[in-house]
């Protein structure tokens, strides 16, 4: 029996917020694919990351630069093996202490009760500007 999707998503976001690599690996398929849309030259974690090792590297880079303060779901649309979410979040740039409050869309694909793909469509211009200051 696979874990209910709400539980998988709750574990995924809790692992991200806590920076818990082991919990993240438990919520993902071995070949998980992460795509964070934005300019790699300005945002170190932008691009595509594959596999649990890639996911851990991705979230490690995010954690080096940002502290996640809050993530809240504004809207969610579920499909048979996927869901799309509009989120509001609060982040803090570690280097400067600057606060960011932004919306983003996250699109998930699931397989075997785990996250198989995670696509993030953020306000990449705002993240890039905050990291450049």
Task: Tell me the per-residue pLDDT of 23-44, one tens digit each, with 9 for 90 and over.
Answer: 888 899 999 999 999 999 999 9
Rounded Cα gap, residues 27 and 23, in angstroms: 6
The pLDDT value recorded for residue 18 is: 78
Q: Which domain holds residue 54?
A: 5-132
pLDDT exceeds cutoff 80 at 8 = yes
| Euclidean distance between CA atoms 130 and 133, whole angstroms | 5
Q: Residue 118's domain is classified under what CATH number?
A: 3.10.450.50
User: Whole-model pTM above 0.85?
Assistant: yes
Per-residue pLDDT at 14:
84
Report how many domains make up the chain.
1
pLDDT in the model for residue 2: 63
- pLDDT tens digits along 70-123: 989 999 999 999 999 999 999 999 999 999 999 999 999 999 999 999 999 999
């Amino acid at each position: 029996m696979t874990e209910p999707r709400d539980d998988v998503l709750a574990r995924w976001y809790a692992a991200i917020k806590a920076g818990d690599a082991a919990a993240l690996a438990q919520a993902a398929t071995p070949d998980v694919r992460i795509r964070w849309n934005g300019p790699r030259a300005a945002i170190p974690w932008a691009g595509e990351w594959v596999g649990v090792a890639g996911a851990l590297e991705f979230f490690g880079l995010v954690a080096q630069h940002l502290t996640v303060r809050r993530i809240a779901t504004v809207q969610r649309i579920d499909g048979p093996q996927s869901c799309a979410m509009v989120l509001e979040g609060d982040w803090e740039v570690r280097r400067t202490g600057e606060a960011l409050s932004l919306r983003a869309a996250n699109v998930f694909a699931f397989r075997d009760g785990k996250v198989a793909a995670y696509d993030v469509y953020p306000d990449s211009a705002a993240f890039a500007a905050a990291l450049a200051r």
